[in-house]
Amino acid sequence: MLIFGLVIAALLGPLYVFLNLERRSLQRYAIGSATAVAGAAITPLVMGRCGFTEGTSGVDHLLSLTLMWGAAWIALIALRSFFDRADGKAKASAAMAGEIRTGGYRMGWWVPWVLLSPTLLILVVFLYYPAFRTFTLSTKLTKLGAPRSIDVCFGNFTELLILNPAKLVAYPLIAIAVIYGARFWMNHSGPGTWSRKGADVASVVGMLAIFVAMYLMFSPGGGGQVDYRDVYVNTLIITVGIVAFGMIGGLAVAYLAFRKIRGGSAYRTLLIWPYAISPAVAGVLFFMIFDPTAGIFTHGMDVVFGIDVPNYRESAMLAQGSIILASGWKILGYNILFYLAGLQTVSTDQIEAAVIDGASSWQRFYKIVMPALSPITFFLLVTNLVYAFFEVYATVDFMTKGAPAGKTSIAIYEIIRVGVNNGDLGRGAAQSVLLFAAVIAITLWQFRTTGSKVSYGGA
């Protein structure tokens, strides 16, 4: 099986060279092949051959192979940027390193390194090293505070997945096929036709297919497996809820507030201050509002509408809804802030022209304002997603602590519950790796779409 993985990698190398390099030669195919094999060999060298030993399941083999080919692919990307530089194209790497200005100091080669050393030291010690440790931890069965640990290879991961290797391969492939199918359809349909509308629908279905495929790949629990589908679905509901509420609300309020009006800056301050409120305090404030015995919400519903609201911590829907409301409220200020800044840049000439053409206010908003705001919308989408993944931890901890029955236990909360509260570091680390993969996917998507190098929120 190990040999099989290396052979495939040896074939992947030349294929990658063929697809991605403009100048190809026999030598380069050979180097590509060697790089892919070297990349693929790294994971068995680091982890041992544990995924392929006797008694391991098909899922273990599959994960081992995926990891090997993933490493091979990363090695090939590095090779490509090297060749691009050699070719003078320097497209990817130089654009990234952004040689914005030539010239500068002519001093010892060590001067810039001294300037960068504090930053690099901290990044390596407190980000790269813990990231590496997360991966090694994820292959172990180790208890918090216990010195000994047992290697379990992919055991912590297979627990989270369904145990059918064929399905694990098929689901993502089907999702990818749907996406590329939709893209193909899109490219072969004229604008404004019914066919294009069908293609639009298909591309949305393609996006959804990824999420459905992931749902199907996660284990539904039982038989010593972890019910990770539940965590996945709850994280998805709460994340989508917060992002949708925060962004739609933010845009609506900003659209109301950006007009020139007397006292405008005072209103603005009154609208965006929740930016400074912490997720923990947001949790405390809404904990009070929704409190089943003393909260104004429960009391108000009873007095005004005669509705007897059940304890929000005992109903999955209410618990998730209250987390969404508290977190959405907290992120609202941030979104309003950026949408206000964005609305200042919308061309008033265009809006005036649209008014003269008799466009309704909704049409003006939909056809002019929204497209002009799309870069900000995209930026906010990514920051809101990251917020919903991580910062919401504190809100959950104050409001529901994951209740009822883990229905508000989002991925990060589950990691702490398993890793710290249960002291099961290895299992927690394996879940961390999954979340890490999600963050990387989102960030790469961001880089790809905007080509932007700067992020403004968080650390």
CB of 154 to other proteins, least distance (A): 18
Residue 244 or 270 with smaller CB distance to other proteins: 270
Among 157, 171, 232, 389, binds other proteins (CB under 8 A): 389
Rounded CA separation 397/420 (Å): 14
Q: Does 307 bind other proteins (CB under 8 A)?
A: no
Would you state the structure tokens that stand for residue 205, as one six-digit string? 């279905």
Among 3, 19, 26, 107, binds other proteins (CB under 8 A): 107
Among 348, 357, 358, 448, binds other proteins (CB under 8 A): 348
Q: Does 301 bind other proteins (CB under 8 A)?
A: no
Residue 3 or 454 with smaller CB distance to other proteins: 454
Q: Does 79 bind other proteins (CB under 8 A)?
A: no
Q: Does 248 bind other proteins (CB under 8 A)?
A: no
> Interface with other proteins by CB under 8 A: which range of 175-183, 221-229, 308-316, 391-399?
391-399
Among 21, 253, 380, 388, binds other proteins (CB under 8 A): 253
Residues 351-380 that bind other proteins (CB under 8 A): 351-352, 355-356, 361
How remote is the C-alpha of 91 from its chain's centroid? 26
Rounded CA separation 192/198 (Å): 11
Residue 404 preceded by cis peptide, ω within 30: yes
Residue 214 or 277 with smaller CB distance to other proteins: 277
Q: Does 281 bind other proteins (CB under 8 A)?
A: yes
Q: Distance between terminal CA atoms of the chain?
A: 42
CB of 187 to other proteins, least distance (A): 30
CB of 39 to other proteins, least distance (A): 17
Length of the chain, in residues: 459
Residues 254-273 that bind other proteins (CB under 8 A): 256-257, 259-263, 267, 269-271, 273
**DSSP class per residue in 129-165:** HHHHHHHHHTTEEEBTT-S-EEE-TTHHHHTTB-S-H
Residues 414-433 that bind other proteins (CB under 8 A): 415-416, 419-420, 425, 428-429, 432-433
CB of 310 to other proteins, least distance (A): 19
- Cα 427 to Cα 144, 216, 244, 457, distances in angstroms: 11, 20, 31, 30
Q: Does 347 bind other proteins (CB under 8 A)?
A: no
Residues 312-341 that bind other proteins (CB under 8 A): 329, 332-333, 337, 341
Among 3, 19, 26, 100, binds other proteins (CB under 8 A): 100
Pair 179, 212: CB distance under 8 Å:
no
CB of 40 to other proteins, least distance (A): 21
Among 277, 359, 372, 381, binds other proteins (CB under 8 A): 277
Helix locations, 258-369, DSSP H = 264-272, 279-289, 296-300, 316-343, 348-356, 361-364
Q: Does 304 bind other proteins (CB under 8 A)?
A: no
Residue 132 or 366 with smaller CB distance to other proteins: 132
Rounded CA separation 393/261 (Å): 38
> Interface with other proteins by CB under 8 A: which range of 37-45, 113-121, 186-194, 232-240?
113-121
Residue 81 or 195 with smaller CB distance to other proteins: 81
Rounded CA separation 60/62 (Å): 5
- What 17-23 contacts at long range (C-beta under 8 Å, 24+ apart), as own/partner pairs, is 20/80, 21/80, 21/83, 22/87, 22/89, 23/83, 23/87
Q: Does 180 bind other proteins (CB under 8 A)?
A: no
Residue 45 or 352 with smaller CB distance to other proteins: 352
Residues 116-135 that bind other proteins (CB under 8 A): 116, 118-123, 126-134
> Interface with other proteins by CB under 8 A: which range of 1-9, 188-196, 210-218, 408-416?
408-416
**DSSP class per residue in 381-418:** HHHHHHIIIIIHHHHHHHHTTT-STTTT--HHHHHHII
Q: What number of CA atoms fall less than 13 Å from residue 166's CA on the CB side? A: 0
Would you state the structure tokens that stand for residue 303, as one six-digit string? 């007095």
Please list, in sequence order, all residues whose beta carbon lies within 8 angstroms of the beta carbon of residue 293, skipping any fewer than 6 positions away: none
